[in-house]
């Protein structure tokens, strides 16, 4: 009798603990929803979110539209292009081949492509860690036009093969999508399989990612696929420029769902994809992006972070391995709010910390003549991301439209002199002289101020 009472007491304790855990998880989920809500209501987030801790999904929700023209809502099952989150999958495929003895990351590119320029100096590890010195194909002046048409992996590599190296292999770091195009070609040479077929068979399937794949043929239908958009005006969207995703083979051609990326996260904790010794050797701290991951620290928590951004889509996969916390944010908008501030803020909430406050989204109504006074040509100084870059401002539906080369972003008014830049959530503050003449502006982003002067008309 005493034994039965003890068993009943133990079961009651377990039930109480489980109930308490559910209440705690529910509270966290409520805070996550509260944080995301203003981004959604202001038209600054559309997509899907999954947050998990200790193998339990705490939060899984979708917002906005998968297709705004047809009024089809996003769901957790919606398939999003994940852009550069494709890189960890390519890296895993290469590491699998190393485990099989079919190549080594210390091998020179020339072993597989004898005619590749500097192939005797560039090692696979240089490609995997963006230390090869190969220029980024995306930076070529005609890339946007080139990428609207389909290309084979050989054609992609030929596009940048003859370019002069930015630095000697291994001597510096520069993030370059070309590295992973080249890795995709080497993978095909070694396996004699199509990149997409190999990744599907040896990475996606073993990870249980049934709703993911490689978008290598524009004519092929992808069920439940989201359309890509970019911010327009104060709170709306417009279609993103067309991209044939075959041009991203190896560096950004995969699509997935929040659930499938969580399967990938779980698989990386096991030997399902690569062995523990391989993970411990390569998924370690280092400069920049290594094997598809940025190794960072946030508020004392170690995080393996992979993020992607390609026309119409942004994506984030943050893994906190010491805490077993995972944050996944997929968006069919070119705005980067999924990566910053939403991703880090959701993790902070799970850790019981205070997240960074969201920016003020309420758009102010300002007179048309005030908007018109800001229109014109401007130029940044040498400290801007693109030194001395010139851009134009035009009035666009109650907002300003900033155009810098092929980059376009709306500026929504917060006050008569301050605007919210909707792609990166930077702040733009105009400088107006004593005579009411607009002299320039200051762009405040990521703790830095970039001053641009207005050019004389």
The CATH number given to whatever domain includes residue 398 is: 2.40.128.50
Distance CA 248, CA 270 (A): 28
- Cα dihedral: 63, 65, 71, 76 (round 10): -70
Which among 316, 350, 384 is the end of a domain? 350
The pLDDT value given to residue 324: 97
Digit-coded pLDDT (tens) for 46-68: 999 999 999 999 999 999 999 99
Q: Does residue 19 have a pLDDT over 80?
A: no
Q: Which of 119-133, 303-317, 423-437 is least confident?
A: 423-437
378 shares a domain with 326: no
Mean pLDDT of 239-262: 98
Distance CA 112, CA 367 (A): 63
Which among 317, 350, 383 is the end of a domain? 350
378 shares a domain with 343: no
302 shares a domain with 228: yes
The pLDDT value given to residue 275: 96
CB 50 within 8 A of CB 60: yes
200 shares a domain with 90: yes
327 shares a domain with 281: yes
Mean pLDDT of 386-391: 95
CB 83 within 8 A of CB 68: no
Q: Does residue 15 have a pLDDT over 70?
A: no
- 17 pLDDT tier (thresholds 50, 70, 90): low
293 shares a domain with 229: yes
How many domains in the chain? 2
Domain range enclosing 414: 368-454
405 shares a domain with 340: no
Between 342 and 446, residue with greater pLDDT: 342
Determine what percent of the chain is predicted with pLDDT higher than 90.
87
Tokens of 24: 């705690």
134 shares a domain with 96: yes
Q: For the whole prediction, is pTM greater than 0.85?
A: yes
134 shares a domain with 236: yes
The pLDDT value given to residue 357: 85
242 shares a domain with 269: yes
Q: Does residue 248 have a pLDDT over 60?
A: yes
- 220 pLDDT tier (thresholds 50, 70, 90): very high
319 shares a domain with 380: no
């Amino acid at each position: 009798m005493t034994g039965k009472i003890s068993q009943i007491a133990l079961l009651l304790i377990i039930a109480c603990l489980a109930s308490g855990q559910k209440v705690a998880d529910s509270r966290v989920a409520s805070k996550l929803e509260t944080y995301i809500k203003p981004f959604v209501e202001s038209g600054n987030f559309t997509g899907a979110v999954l947050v998990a801790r200790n193998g339990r999904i705490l939060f899984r929700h979708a917002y906005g539209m998968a297709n705004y023209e047809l009024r089809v809502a996003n769901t957790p099952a919606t398939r999003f292009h994940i852009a550069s989150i494709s890189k960890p999958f390519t890296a895993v495929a290469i590491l699998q081949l190393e485990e099989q003895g079919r190549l080594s990351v210390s091998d020179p590119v020339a072993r597989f492509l004898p005619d590749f320029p500097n192939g005797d100096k560039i090692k696979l590890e240089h490609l995997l860690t963006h230390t090869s010195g190969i220029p980024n194909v995306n930076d070529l002046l005609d890339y946007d036009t080139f990428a609207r048409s389909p290309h084979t992996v050989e054609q992609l590599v030929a596009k940048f093969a003859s370019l002069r190296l930015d630095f000697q292999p291994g001597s510096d770091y520069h993030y370059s999508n070309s590295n992973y195009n080249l890795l995709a070609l080497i993978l095909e040479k070694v396996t004699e399989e199509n990149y997409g077929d190999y990744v599907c068979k040896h990475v996606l399937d073993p990870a249980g990612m049934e709703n993911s794949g490689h978008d290598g043929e524009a004519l092929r239908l992808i069920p439940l696929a989201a359309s890509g958009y970019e911010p327009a005006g104060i709170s709306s969207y417009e279609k993103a420029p067309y991209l044939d995703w075959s041009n991203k083979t190896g560096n950004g051609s995969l699509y997935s769902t929040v659930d499938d990326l969580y399967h990938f996260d779980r698989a990386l904790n096991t030997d399902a994809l690569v062995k523990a010794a391989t993970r411990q050797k390569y998924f370690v701290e280092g400069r920049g992006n290594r094997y598809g991951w940025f190794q960072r620290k946030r508020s004392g928590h170690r995080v393996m972070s992979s993020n992607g951004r390609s026309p119409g889509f942004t994506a984030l996969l943050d893994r906190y391995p010491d805490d077993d916390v995972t944050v996944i944010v997929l968006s069919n908008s070119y705005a980067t709010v999924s990566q910053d501030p939403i991703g880090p803020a959701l993790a902070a909430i799970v850790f019981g910390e205070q997240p960074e406050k969201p920016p003020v989204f309420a758009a102010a109504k300002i007179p048309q003549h005030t908007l018109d006074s800001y229109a014109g040509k401007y130029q940044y100084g040498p400290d801007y991301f693109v030194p001395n870059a010139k851009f134009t401002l035009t009035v666009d539906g109650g907002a300003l439209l900033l155009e810098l080369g092929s980059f376009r972003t709306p500026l929504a008014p917060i006050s008569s002199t301050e605007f919210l830049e909707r792609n990166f959530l930077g702040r733009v503050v105009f400088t107006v002289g004593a005579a009411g003449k607009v002299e320039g502006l200051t762009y405040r982003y990521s703790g830095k101020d970039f001053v641009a002067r207005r050019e004389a008309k």
